[in-house]
Amino acid sequence: MSLSFINIGATEMAILFIPPFLVMIYTIYHIINNDMINGNNRIFWIISILLLNFIRCIFYWWYGKGKITNNALTLLRMN
């Protein structure tokens, strides 16, 4: 199948759309397993990534992944 108005086929579409989709899936996985994000921020990040896809993934990796909350500080002090 070819999209004649932009002249790309199925292979080109897979190359363009699968890597950002995989980055989005991995980012959601990272958010779920990151102990440094509290529950409300976790829900915010997951919903915003689902709505704004790849741009929000880049923003999360740049800003949100290393944010330490009070709960995470307490866990770090206990160990």
What would the pLDDT profile of 34-65 be if each residue is shown by its tens digit? 888 888 888 888 888 888 877 787 777 777 66
Q: CB neighbours (10 Å) of residue 75?
A: 12
What are φ and ψ of residue 68, in 5° steps?
Answer: -95, 130
Which residue, 21, 12, 28, is CA-closest to 60?
A: 28
At position 72, the amino acid (one-letter code) is: A
Q: Which residues pair with 8 in a beta bridge?
A: 3
The bridge status of strand 2-3 relative to strand 8-9 is: antiparallel
How far is 23 from 32, CA to CA, in rounded Å?
Answer: 14
pLDDT of residue 29 exceeding 90: yes
The pTM score is: 0.65
pLDDT of residue 1 exceeding 60: no
